Amino acid sequence: MKRSLRPLAATAVIFLIAYAVSVLQFPGMLSTRVLGNFLTDNAFLGIAAVGMTFVIISGGIDLSVGAVIGFTGVLVAVLITWFGVHPLVAFAIALLVAALFGAAMGLTIHYLQVPSFIVTLAGMFLARGGASVITQDSVPINHEFYRTISEAIIRLPGGGRLSFIGLLMVAVFLVGALLAHRTRFGSYVYALGGNTVSALLMGVPVARTTVQIYMLSSVLAALSGIVFSLYTSAGYPLAAVGVELDAISAVVIGGTLLTGGYGFVLGTFVGVMLLGLVQTYIIFDGTLSSWWTKIVIGVLLFLFIVLQRIIFAASAPGEESSEKV
């Protein structure tokens, strides 16, 4: 097996074992209802994590994701509730704003040679601050369109429900996987994560690709914000605080190397599902504090970083031959 696949395989195996153990303890967890809710409850995280996967594979990081989700939620809510704009128009505006926002961050990162960590940290404060300037309160959304969307569900045998936003997340993952693994843009993203200097010398349009990566991440964060507003039927400036960190965790647990160059979009899906499983387990248990989620995520993250370290250090080229000695 290719060594880059190993962390992903490990995640998948851990997910299956963890799920099996959960089902043994709570047979109720093996139901279409739980699986359907997995998708719905994690839709906004999953969509944001797809963008984060691209950023991390390219060797960067995007800390603005959670703030963009919050900002988008407020923007959409305000446009619909205060100004009576149709939700679809509001969505388009929000996505456009996010695209410009991402492009600005990408341009800064590339042309000013500032680390993405700093630029997106600034972006995070800007977006969060912007949302709070628009309104300090939660703005409810009462619109026919929102009701239509939330009623648009596919019923599964066994009482499960596939929601629109859950399916949207799956669609984003599929498109993201195609984009990452089957297009030239995708190969450029990996090239940047491998070695930026080489990429430049090989003719990779580094500037354009960098801008596109951060645009993609911000647009997906905005889409995630829209999904979040559909999920909660409101916009709140302090929504989704820290989601960027959950997204990063999901990406790393899904087998993407934090230093860039290696990773899979569908790995992130498994990562998101694993995080969702932990939460569901805690809900089923009922006695555990929800903060246990954080502890489990912390342990998982630590495990995976160690695992990747071992896999990539142990099989560095040229060292295999010495093993015989």
Partner 1 sequence: MADGEYVLEARGVMKIFGNHVALDTVDFGLRKGEVHALLGENGAGKSTLIKVLTGAYQPDGGGIYMDGAQISLDNPLHAQSFGIGTVYQEVNLLPNRSVAENLFLGHQPLRFGFVNFRKMEADARVLLANYDLQIDPASELGTHSVAVQQIVAIARAVQLSGKVLILDEPTASLDRNEVERLFEVIRGLKAKGLAIIFITHFLDQVFAISDRVTVLRNGKLIDTRPLDDLSRTDVVRLMLGKDIAFSGATDIESNAAQNEVLVEFKGYGRKRGVLPFDLTIHKGEVVGVAGLLGSGRTEVARIMFGADPADQGTVTVNGQLTAIRKTTDAIRHGFGFCPEDRKAEGILGDLSVRENIVIALQGKLGWFKALNRDEQFEIAGRFSEAMDIRAASLDMPVKLLSGGNQQKVILSRWLATDPAFLILDEPTRGIDVGAHAEIVRTINRLRDEGMAMLVISSELDEVVAYSSRIVVMRDREMVAELRGKNINPGIIVQAIANNTDEAVA
Residues that bind partner 1 (CB under 8 A): 2-4, 178, 182-184, 186-188, 190-191, 193-195, 197-204, 261-262, 317-319, 322-323, 325
Residue 18: partners with Cβ closer than 8 Å, 6 or more residues away: 274, 277, 278, 281
Residue 112 or residue 197: which is nearer to partner 1 going by CB?
197
Q: Is 176 exposed, middle or buried (0-12, 13-18, 19+ CB in 10 A)?
A: buried
Distance CA 123, CA 115 (A): 13
What are the counts of helices (DSSP H) followed by strands (DSSP E) for the chain?
A: 13, 4
Cβ-based nearer residue to partner 1, 25 or 259 = 259
Provide, rounded to whole angstroms, the least separation between the CB of residue 262 and partner 1: 6
| Shortest CB 277 distance to partner 1, Å | 30
Q: Which is nearer to partner 1, 86 or 182 (CB)?
A: 182
Distance CA 195, CA 23 (A): 44
- Cα(237)–Cα(224) distance, integer angstroms: 14
Please, what is the minimum distance in Å from the beta carbon of residue 175 to partner 1?
Answer: 12
Compute the least distance from the CB of residue 179 to partner 1, in Å.
10
Would you say 3 or 309 has its CB closer to partner 1?
3
Nearer to partner 1, 78 or 213 (CB): 213
Nearer to partner 1, 285 or 320 (CB): 320
CB of 191 vs partner 1, minimal distance in Å: 5
Packed helices 164-182 and 184-194: angle between N→C axes, nearest 10 degrees: 70
Q: How far is the CB of 203 from partner 1 (least distance, A)?
A: 4
User: Which three-class secondary structure state does DSSP give residue 318?
Assistant: coil
Report in angstroms the alpha-carbon separations of 276 from 2, 28, 36, 265: 28, 16, 11, 17
Nearer to partner 1, 152 or 178 (CB): 178
Residue 218 half-sphere exposure toward CB, CA atoms < 13 A: 26
The distance of closest approach from Cβ of residue 128 to partner 1 in the complex, given in angstroms and rounded to an integer, is 34
Q: Encoding tokens for residue 311? A: 């896999």
Q: Which residue has the tokens 């569900």?
A: 153
Distance CA 243, CA 246 (A): 5
- Which two tokens mark 267? 């790995």
CA pair distance 267, 4, nearest whole angstrom:
11
Q: How far is the CB of 229 from partner 1 (least distance, A)?
A: 32
Nearer to partner 1, 4 or 42 (CB): 4
Tokens for 220, please give them. 């997906």
